[in-house]
């Protein structure tokens, strides 16, 4: 399918829709990409849903760690559902158009849920910090009311600022082109399409990235520095191994998610390569949600035991 590209000399009011180019540079593998994304999406939905179910059904998992894990799995389902169904639709129909309103809504929900994920990962690292570094006070500190407050805070804290961020981006004039060289409406490729002065949204993006990505990442690294220091002082090798096993899965998710997100959003606009951006975006928007249930289930004996009880009970 061919699309008319809107050039800068044309009236900007003509831009009523965008074209998500996605993976159109690989025309011979569109069917294979559809199958791959469909399988990944099913893994994400089924895997994260299983975590939510077992943490609700098994009383042994009614602990703060698994409460946050269930929230994280719920968040992952919402997060990927903002982008992957659109990717599947574009690959299946080869109709890559999206209205400006649809693009704005996708962008808004994506960054709101992305911020929530950053904050929830920081909350989960704090939970592990208290459990390992201050175990005697853990039941008192991480009581149910405080856990609910932390979870709700992670879900809603970034909403006002990110709605403002989306409004700022879509107040720009898009007159260079209507073709977004990406598979969803992300901020960097949208800024590249804008004409005129984009310094304000670029500064706002840098500030938001610092506040909602770099700051939680720094707090997580500090928490894990203290956790590792405490683990190394444990008297028994088995105690150290168990503590490392519990925390390493969280750390893997953190590094995958924050590493790719930081590279994407901290790079100057002039240094953005479309293919590199798409590959990095796949890590934090698709691959991390897929790895989450695999890592947490395969590396956690309590979750494996709960799954066995759910599926093997008569």
Q: What is the overall mean pLDDT for the chain?
A: 84
What tens digit of pLDDT does each residue of 149-179 get? 999 999 998 888 889 999 999 988 887 678 8
- Outline where the chain has alpha helix (H): 30-57, 64-93, 100-133, 138-141, 144-156, 159-169, 187-193, 199-209, 215-232, 237-266, 274-282, 288-298, 301-312
pLDDT at 132 (0 to 100):
86
What tens digit of pLDDT does each residue of 69-99 get? 999 999 999 999 999 999 999 999 988 999 9
**2 within domain boundaries:** no
**252 within domain boundaries:** yes
pLDDT at 126 (0 to 100):
93
pLDDT band for position 15 (cuts 50, 70, 90) = low
What tens digit of pLDDT does each residue of 217-268 get? 999 999 988 988 888 887 777 667 766 766 676 777 788 889 888 888 887 6
**4 within domain boundaries:** no
What is the per-residue DSSP string for 117-133? HHHHHHHHHHHHHHHHH
Q: What is the CATH number of the domain that holds 215?
A: 1.20.1070.10
Domain that holds residue 95: 15-312
**24 within domain boundaries:** yes
pTM, full prediction = 0.88
What tens digit of pLDDT does each residue of 258-293 get? 988 888 888 766 565 777 788 888 888 898 888 877
pLDDT band for position 115 (cuts 50, 70, 90) = very high
Q: How many domains does the chain have?
A: 1
């Amino acid at each position: 399918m061919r699309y008319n590209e809107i050039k800068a000399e044309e009236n900007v009011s003509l831009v009523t829709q965008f074209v998500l180019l996605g993976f159109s540079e690989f025309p011979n593998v569109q069917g294979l990409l559809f199958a791959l994304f469909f399988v990944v999406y099913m893994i994400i939905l089924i895997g994260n849903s299983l975590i939510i179910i077992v943490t609700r059904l098994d009383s042994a998992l009614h602990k703060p760690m698994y409460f946050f894990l269930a929230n994280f799995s719920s968040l992952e389902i919402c997060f990927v559902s903002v982008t992957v169904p659109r990717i599947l639709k574009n690959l299946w129909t080869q109709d890559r158009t999206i209205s400006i309103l649809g693009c704005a809504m996708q962008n808004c929900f994506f960054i709101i849920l992305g911020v929530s994920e950053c904050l929830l990962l920081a909350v989960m690292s704090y939970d592990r910090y208290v459990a390992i570094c201050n175990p005697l006070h853990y039941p008192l500190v991480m009581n149910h009311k405080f856990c609910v407050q932390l979870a709700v805070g992670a879900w809603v804290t970034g909403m006002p600022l990110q709605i403002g961020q989306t409004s700022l981006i879509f107040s720009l004039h898009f007159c260079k082109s209507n073709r977004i060289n990406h598979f969803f409406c992300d901020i960097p490729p949208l800024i590249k399409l804008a004409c005129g002065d984009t310094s304000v949204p670029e500064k706002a993006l840098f500030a938001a990235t610092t506040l909602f990505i770099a700051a939680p990442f720094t707090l997580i690294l500090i928490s894990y520095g203290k956790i590792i220091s405490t683990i190394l002082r444990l008297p028994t090798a088995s105690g150290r191994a168990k503590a490392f096993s519990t925390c390493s899965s969280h750390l893997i998710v953190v590094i995958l998610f924050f590493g790719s997100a930081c590279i994407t959003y901290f790079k100057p606009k002039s240094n953005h390569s479309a293919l590199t951006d798409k590959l990095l975006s796949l890590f934090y928007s698709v691959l991390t949600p897929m790895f989450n249930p695999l890592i947490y289930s395969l590396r956690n004996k309590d979750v494996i035991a709960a799954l066995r009880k759910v599926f093997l009970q008569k």
